[in-house]
Chains A and B, each alone.
Chain A
Amino acid sequence: MNCTEFESVVADIARSVLMDGVSRREGLAHATGCERCGRRLANEPALGGLLAVAAAEVMGRTAPPAVEKALLPAFRESKSAGHPGRRAWWLGAAGAAVAALLVVSVVVRRPREPQIVKVPTLMPAPATQPTKIIAPVYRETRKPPARTLRAVHRKPAMPKPRSAEEVREVVTEFIPVIYDPEPVDHGRMVRVRLPRSALAAFGLPMNEQRAEETIQADVVLGEDGLARAVRFVK
């Protein structure tokens, strides 16, 4: 037995705790041969004695009577309220949780309807009148999180990919792409990547040095599949 192993049995030897006889013999033998551990074992009864005195000194200590006086009204109150109320509260909470889960599952399973996008009607302009380029209006929108069944199930385990600040987007107004005498009431919006030069094609300012790069855009497709309007996303 070495000193480390002796440390793990010295208290048991000193406290006369029921222990493995071999460990006890080996511990005592080590203490005989090792001066430091021998001293440690010799000090143990003194430590044990002090601990016993410390324990005896507080043996008579009890909580003040005020504690019991304060507890008795609480006991009466809790009993008058009764456990059924508490149980009912838990049942209500559980019911609400189940209902919320059902609603979530129904929402998740429901097939997504095509997104309705209002597209501004392009009025024919006189040919002689030059097209007035209007600076785009930028506004911030929050990108809604993707709601799929898998995402709902994984939610507790998945780390948050990006903070709300990060998913914030800056978009332009929708810009009509083709002349359409009949206003489009319904359409499907798809996100695409376009070369930056497309900005210039729509009369928007563009950094020519970054013309090779791409930019995100939302394109509104009519029911016939033709692009009706586009907006750029930053």
Chain B
Amino acid sequence: MKVLTNLADDELLRLMASKNEQAFTVLYQRRQRAVYRFALQMSGSPSVAEETTQEVFLILLHEGSGYDPARGPLASYLYGVARRLVWRRMAQDRTHVQIGEEEEDGRTPEQLIARSEVENDVARDQAVRSLRRAILALPAGYREAVVLCDLHELSYVEAARALGCAVGTVRSRLHRARALLAERLAAKRSNSSGCLV
């Protein structure tokens, strides 16, 4: 197992094709976080993120041969598959985008308060929650750019590979998305009495 963890994704995929279950486990453990977080940040729903993660790896199991290393790393391929699944899911059920505050991270208000008391930073928590809601309210194309470039810290090139579009498109979407976020957060600040940031 320890040897397998040092292998590259392509090698693990090759081993998976020859029925190596440990290779699959290692690859899953390595890549599931990014896929799950991407789906969670795109949909705002843990259940959608869970289903998407499962489907992404099922697709990898059944259509792994469809992945072409020449077109980019496996991570980009997985982001691309997750993106398609999330879009499909959002088209089916748009209500997932609008979520309650308590459902965002699975914590109860009491837990949030306790955490805030410990950190003594209620304003920042509120601001982050507002930001998360603002991200979920962005148009899906802009949201993808923010999630991949700002939250997952992918470069423009990596994000463009995952989204299957030009680097310039990612750039312009990200700039527009950040402008929208800044506007919305500024409007939120002006509506509330205290300073949030």
Q: Which residues of A contact B (CB under 8 A)?
A: 7-12, 17, 40, 43-44, 46-51, 53-55, 57-59, 61-64, 66-68, 70-72, 74-76, 78-79, 83, 86
Contact = CB atoms under 8 A, between A and B. Distances in A.
The binding surface of chain A is classed by DSSP as: helix
A70 B128 contact: no
A49 B185 CA distance: 13
B178 A8 contact: no
Given A10-B175, A12-B171, 11 more contacts: A8-B171, A10-B178, A40-B182, A47-B131, A50-B131, A58-B41, A58-B105, A67-B32, A71-B58, A74-B61, A78-B62
Contact of A67 (B50, B62, B178): B50
A48 B181 CA distance: 11
Contact of B40 (A7, A61, A68): A61
Contacts of B128: 50, 53-54, 57
A40 B181 CA distance: 11
A118 B20 CA distance: 70
15 contacts: A8-B172, A9-B175, A10-B179, A50-B127, A50-B197, A51-B150, A55-B153, A57-B128, A58-B105, A61-B37, A71-B58, A72-B25, A76-B21, A78-B61, A78-B62
Contact of A75 (B61, B178, B182): B61
Interface string B125-142: 001100110010000000
Given A54-B131, A58-B41, A64-B50, A44 B21 contact: no
A47 B182 contact: yes
Interface residues of B, number: 48
B113 to A, nearest CB: 16
B149 to A, nearest CB: 8
Task: Give the most central of B32, B35, B54, B65: most A CB within 10 Å.
Answer: B54
Q: Which of A54, A59, A72, A86 has the most CB of B within 10 A?
A: A54
Given A50-B197, A79-B19, A7 B36 contact: no
A64 to B, nearest CB: 6
Contact of B182 (A43, A61, A63, A72): A43
B17 interface: yes
A63 B131 contact: no
B36 A71 contact: no
Nearest to B130: A50
Interface of B: 16-17, 19, 21, 24-25, 28, 32-33, 35-37, 40-41, 49-50, 53-54, 57-58, 61-62, 65, 105, 124, 127-128, 131-132, 135, 146, 150-153, 156, 171-172, 174-176, 178-179, 181-182, 185-186, 197
Nearest to A78: B61
B135 to A, nearest CB: 8
B5 to A, nearest CB: 16
Contacts of A76: 21
- Would you call the interface of chain B mostly helix, strand, loop, or mixed? helix
Contacts of A74: 58, 61
A7 B179 contact: yes
B151 A67 contact: no
Contact of B32 (A10, A49, A62, A79): A62
Contacts of B33: 61-63
A40 B24 CA distance: 46
A50 B186 CA distance: 13
A63 B197 contact: no
A94 to B, nearest CB: 16
A63 B152 contact: no
Given A40-B182, A51-B131, A71-B57, A63 B50 contact: yes
A71 B28 contact: yes
Which 4 residue pairs across A and B have the least CB separation, nearest first?
A63-B36, A55-B151, A63-B53, A79-B19
A79 B24 CA distance: 11
Nearest to A39: B186
A40 B175 CA distance: 12
Contacts of A79: 19
Contact of B65 (A46, A49, A83): A83
